[in-house]
Amino acid sequence: MLGFFVVVFVVLAALSALYWRWRKKIEEEIAEGAGIEWAHFQKHDPDFVKDMSEEKFREVYKRVHEPRFPGYALATLATFFVSLPVTLAVLTMLLWGAEKAGALPEPVEVADRFLIEDGELRFFRDAPPEAALYYIRDLAGFYYFFGVLIVWLLIVAFFMRRFHGRRPGYLRDEIIRSRE
C-alpha cells in the first residue's frame, strides 16, 4: 500500500509542477489581455472605468478570465488520495465496532443459513462450507467500496459547490460589483 501512495504522490507532484508552469503562462497571457482591454475601455468608454485604477482593473480582469477548473480538478484529485487512508481507517473502526456490537453476523452463522442438507450452498453448488466462510468474511469489502465511493462523492460535491459558488460574472458586471 505504501508503494501505491508513493506512486500517487509522485504523479500528483508531477501534475502540480505542470499546473504551475501552465498557470504562469496563462497569467502572462491574461496580463497582456488586461492591458489591451484597459486601453480599449480608456479609448471607447472612459466614463465606465474613470474611478478605477489600472491595477484594480487588472485584478478584476484576471478574476473573470483566469481558468479555474484545472486548479479545482487537481485539488479534488489530491484530496481523494489524501483522504483515502483516513477513510479506510474510519471504515475499519466502524466495521470493528459493528462486529463487537453484534451488528454484523459471524461468517459461520451466515454460512449455516445458506447450506442445504447435503452441505452445498444455494448460490455455490459445488463449493464446500469452508469456501463459504472465506466468501462471507470478505463481504466487508462491500462496505469499504461503497464507503470510499461515498467519501469521494462528498469531496466532489464540496469542490463543485465551491467552483460554482465562486464563479465570476462578465467583465462589466464584475467591474460594477468591484465599485460597491
Q: Are 82 and 12 in contact (CB under 8 A)?
A: no
Place of cell 442438507: 117
Confidence of residue 109 (pLDDT cuts 50, 70, 90): low
Confidence of residue 95 (pLDDT cuts 50, 70, 90): confident
Q: Are 59 and 38 in contact (CB under 8 A)?
A: no
Give the angle 54-59-60 at the CA atoms, nearest 5°.
Answer: 95
Reply yes or no on whether the pLDDT at 120 is more than 60. Answer: no
Residues 142-156 have pLDDT tens digits of 888 999 999 999 999
- The CA-atom distances, in angstroms, between 21 and each of 8, 10, 15, 30, 48 are 20, 17, 10, 14, 35
CA distance 47 to 115: 85
Residues 22-32 have pLDDT tens digits of 999 999 999 99
Confidence of residue 118 (pLDDT cuts 50, 70, 90): low
Write down the pLDDT at residue 135.
Answer: 66
Instruction: Report the number of distinct structural domains present in the chain.
Output: 1
Write down the pLDDT at residue 107.
Answer: 62
Instruction: Please state the pTM of the whole predicted model.
Output: 0.76
Write down the pLDDT at residue 180.
Answer: 73
Residues 26-66 have pLDDT tens digits of 999 999 999 999 999 999 988 898 888 999 999 999 999 99
Q: What is the three-class DSSP state of 127?
A: coil
Within 10 Å of residue 110's Cβ, how many Cβ atoms?
16
Reply yes or no on whether the pLDDT at 176 is more than 70. Answer: yes
What grid cell was written down for 67?
481558468
Write down the pLDDT at residue 127.
Answer: 60
Residue 42 lies in domain:
2-179
Write down the pLDDT at residue 136.
Answer: 66
What grid cell was written down for 119?
452441505
The residues near 11 (Cβ < 8 Å, ≥ 6 apart) are: none
Q: Identify the top-confidence range among 97-101, 107-111, 124-128.
A: 97-101
